[in-house]
Amino acid sequence: MTTIFESVKDFLQMNVEHEQKNPLHVGEVMSCWLYLALMDEATVYIQIGLNTTTDDDVKNMLQESLNQCETQGKRFKDFMKKEGVHLPPTSEQRPNSDPNEVPLGVKLTDDEIMNGLSIKTVAAITTCASSASQSIRNDVGALFTQCMLEKMKFGASLKELMGKRGWIKVPPYYYPPGLPKP
């Protein structure tokens, strides 16, 4: 049985192969530029998290996200260079350090690290969705759709770990007036 994700991927690939390549429009350029900046800045945040945590589950999740950010960032860098688009300036990469040497007043908690990673993942998914929907060129739409699906898959495993550890920040529940009581 074909999943919705496979259908979208197949549709986009079919249209990418037969499309005339017009120049990128300014919105596509801005979307690529913004997403690459988001991946590069997320990489720095993840490096900080890896330098802060001693929890193996958190380290594994951060390493998975780091690999994904680096892969997606490279995909966008290669695409943008090919299209003649300048790359955004980003923060310096962080060197490795010993988490046990980070002072407590400076050190992020595992809860804070994971919630920050969750926010960055949501921002990436939202950026990909809006960028894909605004893209005229199918290759640009396919690039964002692929990254969005990868981030969504990662987000599901992130949510599972956060739920297991009690780290998900839940807003107050809404009970509409007049709702029957169970």
Rounded CA separation 46/65 (Å): 8
Whole-model pTM: value is 0.87
Q: What φ, ψ does residue 70 adopt, rounded to 5°?
A: -65, -40
**Residue 99 CB contacts under 8 Å (≥ 6 apart), including other chains:** 51, 52, 53, 54, 107
Domains and CATH numbers, the chain: 23-87+106-165 (1.20.1260.10)
Identity of residue 130: S
Q: What is the pLDDT of residues 63-96, one digit of tens each?
A: 999 999 999 999 999 999 999 999 999 889 999 9
Q: What is the pLDDT of residues 92-142, one digit of tens each?
A: 999 999 999 988 888 999 999 999 999 999 999 999 999 999 999 999 999
- What per-residue string of b and e applies to 150-165 under the rule 16 or more CB within 10 Å gives b? bbeebbeebeebbeee
DSSP 8-state assignment for residue 179 = P
**Residue 108 CB contacts under 8 Å (≥ 6 apart), including other chains:** 48, 49, 52, 53, 116
Taking every pair of Cα atoms in the chain, the longest distance, rounded to a whole number of angstroms, is 61
Lowest mean pLDDT across 1-15, 29-43, 54-68, 155-169? 1-15
Contact 62, 46 (CB under 8 A): yes
